[in-house]
Chain A
């Protein structure tokens, strides 16, 4: 029994050996056959290019899509403010001079003329913004927009950052004017004065932006300033109107302000859409491309 098992074991071992030899034989045969063929491998650079092209289609499962969207959103905002800060130096001297002169004249009239503080802040509040619009649209007005559109920082980001800057600058200037008048005069409420200028500021700002998107900004600014001056003349000759305006019901004032803020944001959005791409032959770039948004 044990002998037959031993013999059987030897036979199996011999079979295994034969298999190995056979396998080695086939391997060498196969290698000899394959030697007749040459397999052309692509270059390393082409392989890398293919991988790069395909990478865009590979979802990144390690990242939470919501977090990624939020991060992108914040990065865009931070980037926008950075552009805005860097772009301040590119604002024209005319804009800075105008702001300075308006502020100075506002302080002077507000301090020296007894009855004037409310009218002064109302009349002066939207002017820095309206003049600043010239800076927002200067690329379009002076024919640089097409170059700007082809840059990494897009023209619409640039315009939005400028818009944000002029809004912020106007708010700061107007608040400073109110604060200064409050400190110097002492007979007026700071918050009352701020509330007084905010409504006309936001209404004029949103409507002037609405107009500037549609026609040449130089024209729209002139039109807005002229109309606002006319309103100023009416307010000066009809003090009862000003009193009525200042004593509007709080809800109505909030509604008007909300509507104007909505119009301003909507126009800002429209500005972005209109200046993403251009349409041949149109002054208002992007006017014919609305179907794409």
Chain B
């Protein structure tokens, strides 16, 4: 199975949200990383065929997804970044409703609904009204609806927002198990989610694809570029001025600083293995949400 994105662009009046984006995705989990406003959500909406590109084409196994219509939606699971619910519905009823919209037969839908409810850990609250759900439970219900039709293409926009660590781990495991015969595209700011499950990472900035590669290959670029050093509190402002600081940890012995720099920042600095957070900072130089 192959999802091909060919020179896709989306323009909203003067703003170019996605610019000539080209990528090829096969079975596996792909992590989409980029700062706010990079065009990730717009790209995912186009991939979900709910937003028309200004130019370019998206193909699934060589067929234009727009001409595929229902056949594409048959194999599509989509979790939007922001969504609501019919709050008077129970979780089960809401899933039955979405299952009906996805064209599942009633009996098959009931079985599938039960299955996905258990999968996301909502079985015990399935018959409570959605208005009584916490944020994390709502998010899990969102994930559950995306899985209802056993999708071959799963597009998830910030799926782990609002999930507690246990739920995030559960969700990552679900993704890993599912990824053998599916294309899963995951957009998130929580870089550790991508670090654990993604086959490839797509870096996106200002609507363009900066890089698409294996995480290991991307991290190789940062070899000898990430340093750890313990300094005195008074040295910290100077370091902040001169270098990209990934992390600051106050210890009894002083302040342990993780620095991103191509050169050794201080004589006492020790090189450390680069992580995805370092990579994120290297490319986007923005505050990391963790």
Residues of A with Cβ closer than 8 Å to B? 49-50, 52-53, 56, 86, 90, 92-93, 138, 142-144, 146-153, 158, 277-281, 288-289, 292
Contacts and interface: CB of A to CB of B under 8 A. Distances in A.
A280 B45 contact: yes
A280 B149 CA distance: 26
B101 A56 contact: no
Given A138-B86, A151-B98, A280-B41, 16 more contacts: A49-B62, A53-B62, A90-B97, A93-B88, A143-B84, A147-B80, A149-B48, A150-B76, A151-B73, A152-B74, A153-B100, A277-B50, A279-B12, A280-B42, A280-B45, A289-B52
B196 interface: no
A280 B51 CA distance: 9
Nearest to B2: A49
Contacts of A150: 48-50, 73, 76, 78
20 contacts: A49-B62, A52-B63, A144-B83, A144-B84, A146-B83, A147-B78, A147-B79, A147-B98, A147-B142, A149-B48, A151-B103, A152-B70, A152-B101, A152-B103, A152-B149, A153-B100, A153-B103, A279-B51, A289-B52, A292-B52
Given A53-B62, A152-B102, A288-B12, A142 B84 contact: yes
Interface string B49-93: 111100000000111000100100110101110111111100000
Interface of B: 12-13, 17, 41-42, 45, 48-52, 61-63, 67, 70, 73-74, 76, 78-80, 82-88, 97-98, 100-103, 142, 145, 149
A288 B80 contact: no
Contact of A280 (B12, B70, B88, B100): B12
Q: 3 closest Cβ contacts across the A-B interface?
A: A143-B84, A151-B101, A150-B78
A280 B40 CA distance: 12
B102 A151 contact: yes
A15 to B, nearest CB: 55
A213 B14 CA distance: 25
A132 B13 CA distance: 35
Contacts, number: 87
A143 B67 CA distance: 27
B97 A149 contact: no
B73 A147 contact: no
Given A147-B80, A150-B48, A280-B41, A49 B100 contact: no
B50 A149 contact: yes
B51 A278 contact: yes
Contacts of B12: 279-281, 288
Nearest to B78: A150
A86 B84 CA distance: 22
Nearest to A292: B52
Contacts of A289: 52
Contacts of B51: 277-280
Contacts of A143: 82-85
A152 B76 CA distance: 9
B183 to A, nearest CB: 15
Contacts of A146: 45, 50, 78, 80, 82-83
Contact of A148 (B42, B61, B63, B101): B101
B6 to A, nearest CB: 15
Contacts of A148: 98, 101
